[in-house]
Amino acid sequence: MNNEVRQILVTSALPYANGSIHIGHLVEYVQTDIWARFQKMRGHQCLYVCADDAHGTPIMLRARQEGITPEELIARISTEHQQDFANFSIDFDNYHSTHSDENRQLASTIYQRNLERGNISLRTITQAFDPVEQMFLPDRFIKGECPKCGTGDQYGDNCEACGASYSPSELKNPVSAISGAKPTERESEHHFFKLANFEPMLRQWIRAGHLQSEVANKLEEWFEAGLQEWDISRDAPYFGFEIPGHPDKYFYVWLDAPIGYMASFKNLCDRSGLDFDQFWGRQSKAELYHFIGKDIIYFHALFWPAMLSGADFRTPTAIFSHGFLTVNGQKMSKSRGTFIKASTYLKHLNPEYLRYYFAAKLGSGIEDIDLNLEDFAQRVNSDLVGKVVNIASRCSGFIRKRFDGQLSAELAEPALFQEFINAGQSIAEHYEKREFSRTVREIMALADRANQYIDEKKPWVIAKEESKEAELQAICSMGINLFRLLIGYLRPILPATAAKSETFLQIPPLTWAELPTPLLSHAIAKFKPLMTRVEATQIEAMLNDSKEDLAARNAKQTKPHETRTEGHLAKEPIADTIEFSDFAKVDLRIARIAKASHVEGADKLLQLTLELGAGDRRTVFAGIKSAYTPEELEGKLTVMVANLAPRKMRFGLSEGMVLAAGPGGKELFILSPDEGAEPGMKVK
């Protein structure tokens, strides 16, 4: 074993301060936390830092909508995030914010140094501008009709209906998503990071073992396309840091977000006396690892090393990317109740279950992992409750009742104990390589071995024989010692269960180095259940609760809640007054959704067969796949525009439209009539 103490700095991606932590986020924090805890348990100096990512247009707008300052918003969200993390035993050594003095200074330093070395250029670009809000509009905040297929309400970058990509200026009838005004074009001077200056360095870097091979493959694309300049500035109004010497110009949030890793660490240094340069200086010998989702590889594997190198800081030792989380094989969905917030999960289930399940599925690759809820319950119950915890439970009774809690003075089966110790090496290697699923598999094989041992020795038979007291004590002590090793190996994954087990065993926190020393002639405490089974009803309740979360929020939106309503009205102002005759032209009818199905090849569409009674059936393509599944729509009554001119769409002819409210994505709500309405009835 390598006894050298390593200096390791680990980060997880910074959660955006615009929403709650959900179980998808947790994959990454759990993965990082397990790895960091493992390193600490091995005796290394491992520091795990993170922060809230607090800047950008969405945060500015949300704060405005809520009628508070961005600072108030991010403070509130930060508290909430940290509470969720603490509940899941995510053990940060420091949690900070990108909206901090440390980050302002570091961002400025990094910018300044790159500027001095000719890595920043200034160029005037033309951008969409909202004349009402007096602000430039990011693509995401411009909506309009797709220039190719004519579908309305599309974002400025690509069409959700036909998949075409285009620039915002090509949209037909564009409107600002903030004010509803028609955007104008305006020129502005922007700051660009000249990524191409780093091409030789990056080409070498991405093939030097800092990245997973599939990630490096993917990045080749960018070199083939040619490295473009990266726009790192935004115009006021913007919530972020003003660029030194350039009033009303701000650093783009993605510039200062990764710098937040450094800032959080700097903040830790200032409080604890650690040496910042020892970790971030060009000559640093410390290891630096970023755990990230595969969606933000570009920022971390190209821009970030380039920025650092251009500012005379060290580059990361490695970037560890992971895949996304699906639930029951599908993307998390609010309507299915599988968009589960961390706080909702906690109301129903033990966080250790999820940590274990994620660990059991995580490898070092970037494939997505699936939370199959049935599998989740079976796996936790069988592995943790049935196998591991059960070993302590089935041995402790004898030790407690017959020997007053005292373990025997010698190991009954030193060879078996040694077998468990030997397995530790490969378990450690798998931890180190982030092959947690292999780690778990090996540990569970040992747990099976321990149960087999007890079964073989049959302590319950021996207990009935006289003069076999010593043998009984030895067998059960052996079982307890095997349990101790299993818990030791599982400790990075199950910190809370390990802590409870340490209380039961009456020992200090386990370290890897102590594992080979068995507990002999030692008193243990009374056994209390360390973990209980997952019940199907708990999972059911959690899913319902997630759905209710959504329902509650919807109710809040429809209620005349000042800020929320103002938000919607501000985004989409009430249209010009019309005459009744204009309204009468629209023939609205109650329709029954007779059939709903997915459309092959369509990302956003569902194909609906609407029944108006008397054999009148219409095929309608509706862009509501993001919010509804076909199953939940079938049989429902809704309201449709029955006399809309049929429109030829990519997948067929659409003969009308269903009415729905909401901004899109998960937040789409189709209208349904009150009880008693029948298909075909006219809405007037």
Partner RNA sequence: GGCUACGUAGCUCAGUCGGUUAGAGCACAGCAUUCAUAAUGCUGGGGUCGGUGGUUCAAGUCCACCCGUAGCUACCA
Residue list 96-135, contact with RNA (CB under 7 A):
125
Residue 672 near RNA by CB under 7 A: no
Among 156, 337, 495, 518, binds RNA (CB under 7 A): 156
Residue 253 near RNA by CB under 7 A: yes
DSSP 137-184: --GGGEEEE-TTT--SSEESSB-TTT--B--GGG-EEEEETTT-PPPE
Among 96, 191, 194, 218, binds RNA (CB under 7 A): 218
Among 4, 173, 200, 226, binds RNA (CB under 7 A): 226
Q: Residue 339 in 3-state DSSP?
A: coil
Among 398, 420, 436, 483, binds RNA (CB under 7 A): 398
Residue 289 near RNA by CB under 7 A: no
- Which residue in this structure is represented by tokens 């789409």? 668
Distance from C-alpha of 480 to C-alpha of 505, rounded to nearest angstrom: 9
Cis preceding-peptide flag for 237 (omega within 30 of 0): yes
Which residue, 3 or 537, has its beta carbon nearer to RNA? 537
Q: How far is the CB of 28 from RNA (least distance, A)?
A: 12
The residue type of 196 is A
Binders of RNA in range 36-75 (CB under 7 A): 53, 56-58
Which residue, 418 or 452, has its beta carbon nearer to RNA? 452
Cα distances from 368 to residues 28, 32, 598, in angstroms, run: 12, 16, 22
Residue 322 near RNA by CB under 7 A: no
Q: What are phi and psi of 591, to 5 degrees?
A: -135, 150
Q: How far is the CB of 614 from RNA (least distance, A)?
A: 35
Residue 655 near RNA by CB under 7 A: no
| Number of other residues whose CB lies within 10 A of the CB of residue 184 | 11
- Which residue in this structure is represented by tokens 């220039």? 147
Q: How far is the CB of 459 from RNA (least distance, A)?
A: 6
Q: How far is the CB of 409 from RNA (least distance, A)?
A: 22
Residue 200 near RNA by CB under 7 A: no
Among 82, 105, 109, 381, binds RNA (CB under 7 A): 381
Residue 533 near RNA by CB under 7 A: yes
Stretch of residues binding RNA (CB under 7 A), selected from 62-70, 81-89, 224-232, 572-580: 224-232
Stretch of residues binding RNA (CB under 7 A), selected from 200-208, 218-226, 260-268, 419-427: 218-226
Among 195, 263, 342, 427, binds RNA (CB under 7 A): 195
Q: How far is the CB of 374 from RNA (least distance, A)?
A: 6
DSSP 230-277: EE-EEESS-SS-EETTEEEEEE-HHHHHHHHHHHHHHHHHHHH---HH
Among 66, 91, 375, 572, binds RNA (CB under 7 A): 375
Binders of RNA in range 432-471 (CB under 7 A): 437, 441, 444-445, 448, 451-452, 454-455, 459-461, 463
Rounded to 10 deg, the angle between the 351-361 and 23-41 helix axes is 80
Q: How far is the CB of 656 from RNA (least distance, A)?
A: 26
Residue 231 near RNA by CB under 7 A: yes
Q: How far is the CB of 397 from RNA (least distance, A)?
A: 4
- Which residue in this structure is represented by tokens 């249209």? 575
Residue 331 near RNA by CB under 7 A: yes
Q: What residues does 487 pair with on adjacent strands? A: none
List CB contacts of 270: < 8 A, sequence separation 6 or more.
102
Which residue, 252 or 265, has its beta carbon nearer to RNA? 252
Stretch of residues binding RNA (CB under 7 A), selected from 89-97, 327-335, 608-616, 656-664: 327-335
Cα distances from 406 to residues 72, 222, 454, 480, 526, in angstroms, run: 56, 65, 18, 11, 11
Binders of RNA in range 8-27 (CB under 7 A): 16, 18-19
Integer-rounded Cα Rg, in Å, for the chain is 30
Distance from C-alpha of 322 to C-alpha of 18, rounded to nearest angstrom: 22
Q: How far is the CB of 140 from RNA (least distance, A)?
A: 4
For residues 114 and 311, the answer to whether their CB atoms sit within 8 Å is yes
Which residue, 399 or 590, has its beta carbon nearer to RNA? 399
DSSP 411-455: -S-HHHHHHHHHHHHHHHHHHHTT-HHHHHHHHHHHHHHHHHHHH
